[in-house]
Amino acid sequence: MKVLGIDIGGSALKGAPVDTKTGRLLAERHRVEIKSPCSLKEGLAAAREIARHFQWKGPVGLGFPGIIKAGRIGAVGNLGRVWENQNGLTLFRRATGCRVQLLNDADAAGLAEMAFGAGRGRTGTVLLLTFGTGIGSALFYGGKLFPNAELGHVPWRGKPFERYAAAAVRKRARLDWQQWAVRVNVYLAVMERLFSPDLIIIGGGVSKKSAKFMRYIRARARVVPARLHNDAGIVGAALAWEQAGG
């Protein structure tokens, strides 16, 4: 199946047509910058622009940075509260003029890594964490997703962990890679205490820079960078249609 995958992040929407059987992008990805927080108008216009760029008329899958239940948007992190309690399916169907499916952005990245990347064939407990504007998480056991696990929001020193260890915090607090990795290690230790994962996959924008920080990462579980790098979000967004049964 060919699906236009759109990954909605805190600083941009990125999209490309995806072959859901192979996980391959069928064209170069198109990126539209947004501000964070982002108005409905700006976010929906960015989705429209991506569909228009590919002159897309087929199915669209979107990874959204918030809780998604049956197409409805629940609590939202960095994108802004105006998105909360909206019917995401209706909003994005109107914006793109296409049939749409919606799921959490980190769940999307996790599905892509389990199908085509670092989690392929892994049946134990696998935790994928995306480090970007926030921290996203996707939890798997027996290859099955536990949806909407918002593990970037586990509290640490009175704030959500994502305000302490997200990739955006590294830049904002001017931490070097080693200093940031120390924070990530604190976070991984808490995740390990809670879930005993067999494999931890580090995804999001930082995954393509793994050479800069992986050597500082310490955990009991095996920790590997996402193999699809930042494309995992786009590929996984398209897989929303496979989840939904096409």
CB nearer to ligand BGC: pick between 150 and 231: 150
CB nearer to ligand BGC: pick between 106 and 165: 106
Structure-token pair, residue 76: 């939202």
Residue 148 CB, nearest approach to ligand BGC (Å): 8
CB nearer to ligand BGC: pick between 56 and 148: 148
CB nearer to ligand BGC: pick between 106 and 234: 106
Residue 193 CB, nearest approach to ligand BGC (Å): 21
CB nearer to ligand BGC: pick between 56 and 137: 137
CB nearer to ligand BGC: pick between 25 and 168: 168
Residue 51 CB, nearest approach to ligand BGC (Å): 21
Residue 55 CB, nearest approach to ligand BGC (Å): 28
**Rounded distance, CA 123 to CA 134, Å?**
27
**Rounded distance, CA 4 to CA 25, Å?**
9
Residue number with the shortest CB distance to ligand BGC? 77
Residue 113 CB, nearest approach to ligand BGC (Å): 14
CB nearer to ligand BGC: pick between 117 and 204: 204
Residue 68 CB, nearest approach to ligand BGC (Å): 8
Residue 130 CB, nearest approach to ligand BGC (Å): 6
The site for ligand BGC (CB under 6 A) is made up of: 65-66, 77-78, 104-106, 130, 132, 134, 136, 150, 152, 162
Compute the residue count for the chain. 246
Structure-token pair, residue 27: 């064209």
CA-nearest of 97, 27, 30, 25 to 59 is 97
